[in-house]
Amino acid sequence: MESIEIISRGKYFEEFFVGQKILTVARTITESDIVNFAGLSGDYTQIHTDAEFCKGTPIGQRIAHGLLVLSIASGLAIRTGFLEGTVLVFREINEWKFTRPVLIGDTVHVILEVVETKSLPRLGGGLVNITLDVRNQRDETTMKGIWSVLVASKPSQK
């Protein structure tokens, strides 16, 4: 039988460095996203689900749930493959700010930047702090914050 090597796309702790940037693909926020997230989360707040109510608000239309967009940003980040097979634990979300509403039809992408690394040999890896800057199609920041993840070290070569 032929031997097939499976190569992980994930980066090991030692491959991260401060200043490293990763750009995700983009994704358009749909009405279905909002309706499905409302059903999943139970958050049927009018600013998300009532088009008539929203006509009288300062924004004038429905906006996506902040946590929906955060979840989509997480998915976009993971789609890059940089943590695939190497992440040990997603530890924290720090300093998260929602700075601009995301509307139905907006297209978001994420710019990730490594801002800190800390070796934790007793855990078999290290802590990587990554800023996430979620931007819309006009390159405006809609939300941002810092992820803290524990990432595995490279396996020992014996």
pLDDT given for residue 111 in this prediction: 96
pLDDT given for residue 8 in this prediction: 53
Q: Is residue 3 assigned to a domain?
A: no
Model pTM score: 0.90
Contact between 94 and 145 (Cβ < 8 Å): yes
Its domain, for residue 60, covers 13-152
pLDDT given for residue 9 in this prediction: 79
What is the distance between the alpha carbons of residues 107 and 27, in angstroms, rounded to a whole number? 5
Q: Report which DSSP code applies to 12.
A: P
Q: Is residue 47 assigned to a domain?
A: yes
The total number of structural domains in the chain stands at 1
Q: Is residue 1 assigned to a domain?
A: no
Q: Is residue 4 assigned to a domain?
A: no
pLDDT given for residue 156 in this prediction: 80
pLDDT given for residue 130 in this prediction: 97
pLDDT given for residue 2 in this prediction: 58
Digit-by-digit pLDDT tens for the chain (158 residues) are 555 445 557 999 999 999 999 999 999 999 999 999 999 999 999 999 999 999 999 999 999 999 999 999 999 999 999 999 999 999 999 999 999 999 999 999 999 999 999 999 999 999 999 999 999 999 999 999 999 999 999 988 65
Q: Is residue 25 assigned to a domain?
A: yes
Q: Is residue 158 assigned to a domain?
A: no
The DSSP-derived string for 100-157 is S--BTT-EEEEEEEEEEEEEEGGGTEEEEEEEEEEE-TTS-EEEEEEEEEEEEPPPP-
CATH code of the domain in which 78 resides: 3.10.129.10
What residue has token string 């032929």? 2
Q: Is residue 8 assigned to a domain?
A: no
What residue has token string 């995700």? 24
Q: Is residue 17 assigned to a domain?
A: yes
